[in-house]
Structure 1
């Protein structure tokens, strides 16, 4: 009865004290000022930042645990406060921390050891709030009040039954901590002036906020010193703090993204670093407050007032990113801004606002600002859904693009991609389903297949695109809508045509890529694949020359195509204007990487594979002006119209040995792998150079596939040889010296008394996509051709006058009418 009575009295006292709880308006840290219009203002200026507490607390916990195992007696521990390590606490008049607990309370400590440690850490973090600190250290001469931490009542996960009373004893210059249990407390709380902390959450975290603040403050300081305006902190270096935020109610959080105006950078660099540290620490303490987190999750804007600046908080990227914008709310970019950079595309979308009504679009294209604008145009033209598979060879998603993509509604937009994972040979990568855009759970069989069986880039992209096609076609049929495929690279349409030509059933085609038969429409599996897709697929539109050639090959092999496949690949603008800009873009990327390594492009001897193609011809003109004809060689199955000033060969074997010995930059735009092992070994045998640079301007990974396979085989052999000599292969990554961005890899080959290093720029994938691809001014016209041709395909189908099932190229079989967008069907010249 006595124990029950004590518990009852204590709980009644706690309930009575709730009105004087820490943190006005429900905030444990900071003070809520006002709330209006979806915005909450919080003053965090009075949060105390007491340095060195983590060291103090860990020492105290260690001493308490050690003393509790000494013998059957009460525990009393004193922990000195170091004026150098805990200057603020020592300056407040605290020389020691004393801790007392009775034997009966601590006899179960071995069971609760971890929880006990969490609770002690929580006490010291909590007293940095203004309200608790001023209760312990009154500034106006009042007597200090104790702080009661009833973990047994306020922590929903508590298993200890513990509560703590923290008191300041000015005469003895110490803080007293008394631990009691709800089972047999002996504290007479009615006689002790105290405040009850009635919002206790996030107890079960072990986070060193001062250390996290130090890391973030250092990052901000260094970025300001580089005249930067953005800094992102991730869990890589702040794992415990991000764990803290996840428990606080942000389970998806991956990054803290800071941004600021120039005035903030000037203020940071002209002030002591300690001031920046204090500000950051206050912010990090406030972020873990459950009331602030709840506001963020509800979509509110939180304004933290800290000193002379305000920090505006909001969540984005499906709650993966917490944005901290200093001095002004964040300006949010979106698809309309991307479309605004392409006036021709925007004009087409305004002229044909209902062109894609009732149509779903499967888009396979590169992740660029121009393609994001193209997606907005499709939406503006009333597409019922746009699903995009990104052609992305390597690297992380640019933060600005990720921000846009993950802010879009999944009812209209969905995004997918593949991500590289290096293989053991150090040369190749396998590609798996990316979770940058959406969780893989929605495509579990596909994700598992890519995990279990290695897929190169092209194979992975093709498999993912076919899965998406089956799912989108099934959904479109169920909704009574049509499907359009728009792609860059020939991943999907050539396979669909070939399956139709081979007479596959729907079930057989689905099984070929592991698409679950039970996910197909009822009764679809035994149907002819050709008949099935013709009931839902309007047609396809291809962007690239590689995709165009793949379609031509299928058309030749199968004696025709199953549905209209339109293409802009050999349009007048692409052949004449875009190819020039692609050449400049690739050479700019090559030169940037070489400059970062300390090499000069102007001092090289270049070999261009595919020298007579659209991009190849432009590349030869540019390099002839840069290097001189005597330092330039070209290989192509097509001979130049007139004998060129530079060395020409119809194939690699015909290239003179004297020329081959001098070559050190090999740029491939031929669209297929022609550098076989024999030629590579011949090159290494005769070369006069110690560094050879390989770069691709062609799509996907085909250009140097044999070179990659040759290196991979050497790297995995126990005793490789080259020309009968023992060979050593050392692989390393290439990184930009300023940004740290990965730019490819190098293979250092040592044989005999020679060393030759092969630099594989962009891992032998299209080098220009390491930078900016092709500028918007050019892509505006290219993407407008793609959009107009796609709209024309849909309109002709809707009017009952569809294009014939054939490969039809813009400016050849198809011509835009300058007045109303109608097309004629007349033959055109072939271009290359």
Structure 2
């Protein structure tokens, strides 16, 4: 094998680098790219292979030594040996964190099992990174697991189910929620109908998952459990499924004398658990509110009142995402929390290392869809919602470098424009770059809300990238009367889209792109589209204008079709069914100023996070994140007797000390406000 010099390696890295470690090496001379600098206060460093990297100079020296082809340790030592552990082999930071916490001595596995006698209820998207994280939790003692997966990408269901077969059902239950296409043009076409994939279910024979009952509720065909009498949104369907599994886990906790913790990626359970304890409702009322199927065996074990069922059994929750963090932070801003809520969502690693990769993945996915529909990002006019947030700022910076003239084509929108300037020492130094009072650079302008854009700018926009996590309802005091009132902060509404279609006359295509979570970013747009589809065919109108036609359909995937045609043997015709699901498009045909026009709304990835269209974020990036969110579960366990509240990593010492890649905090900071 040819051996490259350090200079040659760095030259290659500058061109092809993708990992935080390699970005560090590629920027070693300039040290200008802030999100790629590794802060020296990180407690355990970052590993590249089996080596711990603390600073740039060490990294330069270590690059002289070869790694294995995958950049991972040659072997790992674990108590279990299920097939799922193959996923862990590509996650060196998770391995290092696992070994440190177990107290390993060389190849000898340590005896520390901080999560022993616990039940883990995990709600995460399905991929090898999540599986690797689950392996770490199991090695720390959480060998009783109830997993509820998020099926953003249907292909992943087929890929990842078989690997779970050798784990006993009693130790690892599993199910997945996925969208199925409704009838073309039906009211549910905008978002889809969610259902449990029965072939994925993994449960003991004596307690099978009532999939048919769930699917009737999700589709709106069970009017007793689902009084809405219409299909559930993704969030409500996932909460129903997660709540059922959570109650079963709590019941097992009572029987087996174990404690239960939630390990989630999107705020599905902790907010509704906290609210149920606060409202002092019964288990039956909890099931009714969240449309959860009955389970007599579970309810016979549990106390009648929800709060009583949680006592001495429910430890708390560990949250990965910012959207999920915000759902609980909103509660903590209004009243005293009833749960212990730990989160890495605002940590240095999550923002400064993973965040940049997510923004690049979203922009790449957007560019691919634009290309497939005949457009380029370079010539678009872009609005970034949540532009003063961490990922919003990063995306603004990247998009500004792509556009022909960002000072004419790029706008930012964020309610943070009205936030007061942070007080002294209320934000860690490393987070000051994204403080709410720091203006954006290289943009045409910034506004508080979409409606604050001048009409000339508003109707010139043809790409909206949302990072907000959806509309927010806050309880605020009137500055004059002191009375409390609920204030709704909208993002993009269905009426906004209707106005863009019928009033605007500059653009014929509008791309709605979510970098957020679930389908919440454009929830009102989906509701509006559903209402239009619900109208009688011959009487469909928007803003009083009769539609000549409304044509829904899949976004064309010209890239995959072209690739297959190029690779296919000449003697046989290429298949036309090999394609990616890029999302849904709605073409509106109507008369504007006496002329028939057609305008198309593109819902990229059906308004789910667009980076999952290609599936997620690279393993070497998420390795860092999962090494931290797993060790955060240990922090929760070691602080199980503290008062209820919000404990964010790199802001609060209890959620930072002993957390892998946690910073060395000199004090506790207030928890970051919800966005």
- Please give the TM-score of this superposition, normalised by the length of structure 2: 0.69
Aligned to 1:107: none
Mapped pair 1:432 → 2:195 = yes
Classify the secondary structure of the residue corresponding to 1:672: coil
Deviations 1:474-499 (CA, angstroms, capped at 9, x unpaired):
11211111111111111101101101
Deviations 1:393-448 (CA, angstroms, capped at 9, x unpaired):
35233543233234433232221111223342222312122214217981224454
Q: 1:735, 1:754 → 2: CA distance? A: 21
Aligned to 1:756: 599
Residues 811/663 of structure 1: CA separation in 2 closer, same or farther (3 Å cut): same
Q: 2:402, 2:665 → 1: CA distance? A: 43
1:358 touches 1:482 (CA, 8 Å); kept in 2? yes
Shift of 1:373: 0.6
1:660 touches 1:687 (CA, 8 Å); kept in 2? no
Aligned to 1:80: none
Identify the match of residue 729 of structure 1 among 539, 550, 567: 550
Which ranges of structure 1 fall in alignment gaps of 5 or more residues? 1-331
Shift of 1:790: 0.2
Deviations 1:313-349 (CA, angstroms, capped at 9, x unpaired):
xxxxxxxxxxxxxxxxxxx993222111111111222
Deviations 1:450-489 (CA, angstroms, capped at 9, x unpaired):
3534211110000011000111111121111111111111
Mapped pair 1:609 → 2:427 = no
Aligned to 1:794: 637
Shift of 1:523: 6.4
2:251 touches 2:302 (CA, 8 Å); kept in 1? no
Classify the secondary structure of the residue corresponding to 2:630: helix
Classify the secondary structure of the residue corresponding to 1:638: helix
Residues 748/601 of structure 1: CA separation in 2 closer, same or farther (3 Å cut): same
Deviations 1:282-325 (CA, angstroms, capped at 9, x unpaired):
xxxxxxxxxxxxxxxxxxxxxxxxxxxxxxxxxxxxxxxxxxxx
Classify the secondary structure of the residue corresponding to 1:756: strand
1:433 touches 1:450 (CA, 8 Å); kept in 2? no
Identify the match of residue 350 of structure 2 among 574, 577, 580: 574
Identify the match of residue 461 of structure 2 among 656, 663, 682: 663
Mapped pair 1:442 → 2:208 = yes
Identify the match of residue 650 of structure 2 among 789, 807, 811: 811
Shift of 1:584: 0.6
Aligned to 1:335: 84
Identify the match of residue 465 of structure 1 among 242, 258, 280: 242
Classify the secondary structure of the residue corresponding to 1:670: coil
Identify the match of residue 652 of structure 1 among 420, 431, 450: 450
Residues 551/615 of structure 1: CA separation in 2 closer, same or farther (3 Å cut): same
Classify the secondary structure of the residue corresponding to 1:773: coil
Deviations 1:698-741 (CA, angstroms, capped at 9, x unpaired):
11111111111111211221212234432121101124342412
2:251 touches 2:301 (CA, 8 Å); kept in 1? no
Residues 522/720 of structure 1: CA separation in 2 closer, same or farther (3 Å cut): closer
Aligned to 1:681: 498
Deviations 1:25-50 (CA, angstroms, capped at 9, x unpaired):
xxxxxxxxxxxxxxxxxxxxxxxxxx
Classify the secondary structure of the residue corresponding to 2:601: strand
Classify the secondary structure of the residue corresponding to 1:732: strand
Shift of 1:535: 2.0
Deviations 1:54-101 (CA, angstroms, capped at 9, x unpaired):
xxxxxxxxxxxxxxxxxxxxxxxxxxxxxxxxxxxxxxxxxxxxxxxx
CA radius of gyration, larger in: 1
Aligned to 1:714: 532
Classify the secondary structure of the residue corresponding to 1:397: helix
Where does structure 1 differ by over 6 angstroms across 4 or more consecutive aligned residues? 818-825
Deviations 1:172-209 (CA, angstroms, capped at 9, x unpaired):
xxxxxxxxxxxxxxxxxxxxxxxxxxxxxxxxxxxxxx
2:263 touches 2:318 (CA, 8 Å); kept in 1? yes
Instruction: From the two aligned structures, give the one with the greater strand fraction.
Output: 1
Q: 2:344, 2:83 → 1: CA distance? A: 27
Q: 1:770, 1:376 → 2: CA distance? A: 25
Mapped pair 1:634 → 2:451 = no
Residues 720/610 of structure 1: CA separation in 2 closer, same or farther (3 Å cut): same
Q: 1:502, 1:555 → 2: CA distance? A: 15
Classify the secondary structure of the residue corresponding to 1:701: coil
Shift of 1:515: 4.4
Q: 1:644, 1:824 → 2: CA distance? A: 30
1:813 touches 1:825 (CA, 8 Å); kept in 2? no
Residues 468/333 of structure 1: CA separation in 2 closer, same or farther (3 Å cut): closer
Mapped pair 1:600 → 2:376 = yes
Aligned to 1:780: 623
Residues 795/830 of structure 1: CA separation in 2 closer, same or farther (3 Å cut): closer
Aligned to 2:482: none
Identify the match of residue 121 of structure 2 among 355, 362, 376: 362
1:446 touches 1:467 (CA, 8 Å); kept in 2? no
Q: 1:822, 1:602 → 2: CA distance? A: 38
2:386 touches 2:468 (CA, 8 Å); kept in 1? yes
Classify the secondary structure of the residue corresponding to 1:550: helix
Deviations 1:597-633 (CA, angstroms, capped at 9, x unpaired):
3322222111111111111100100011110322111
Shift of 1:823: 9.8
1:395 touches 1:742 (CA, 8 Å); kept in 2? no
Deviations 1:486-523 (CA, angstroms, capped at 9, x unpaired):
11111101101101100113343344444436223546
Residues 380/725 of structure 1: CA separation in 2 closer, same or farther (3 Å cut): same
Higher relative contact order (CA 8 A, sep 6+): 2
Q: 1:340, 1:695 → 2: CA distance? A: 33
Q: 2:379, 2:239 → 1: CA distance? A: 40
2:195 touches 2:214 (CA, 8 Å); kept in 1? no
2:341 touches 2:645 (CA, 8 Å); kept in 1? yes
Residues 584/824 of structure 1: CA separation in 2 closer, same or farther (3 Å cut): closer
Identify the match of residue 555 of structure 1 among 332, 344, 349: 332
Classify the secondary structure of the residue corresponding to 2:286: helix
Classify the secondary structure of the residue corresponding to 1:565: strand
Aligned to 2:232: 455
- Please give the TM-score of this superposition, normalised by the length of structure 1: 0.56
Q: 1:357, 1:678 → 2: CA distance? A: 52
Identify the match of residue 148 of structure 2 among 372, 377, 389: 389
Classify the secondary structure of the residue corresponding to 2:361: helix
Classify the secondary structure of the residue corresponding to 2:456: helix
Q: 2:493, 2:217 → 1: CA distance? A: 31
Q: 1:683, 1:511 → 2: CA distance? A: 39
1:792 touches 1:822 (CA, 8 Å); kept in 2? no
Q: 1:439, 1:404 → 2: CA distance? A: 12
Matches within 5 A, 1:139-178: none
Q: 2:243, 2:330 → 1: CA distance? A: 19
Residues 576/517 of structure 1: CA separation in 2 closer, same or farther (3 Å cut): same
Q: 2:346, 2:659 → 1: CA distance? A: 22
1:501 touches 1:562 (CA, 8 Å); kept in 2? yes
Residues 792/710 of structure 1: CA separation in 2 closer, same or farther (3 Å cut): same
Shift of 1:525: 4.2
2:631 touches 2:659 (CA, 8 Å); kept in 1? no
Mapped pair 1:770 → 2:609 = no
Matches within 5 A, 1:229-240: none
Shift of 1:660: 2.2
Aligned to 1:697: 515
Shift of 1:565: 1.0
Residues 468/716 of structure 1: CA separation in 2 closer, same or farther (3 Å cut): same
Shift of 1:818: 6.2
Classify the secondary structure of the residue corresponding to 2:357: helix
Aligned to 2:283: 506
2:174 touches 2:202 (CA, 8 Å); kept in 1? no
Deviations 1:237-257 (CA, angstroms, capped at 9, x unpaired):
xxxxxxxxxxxxxxxxxxxxx
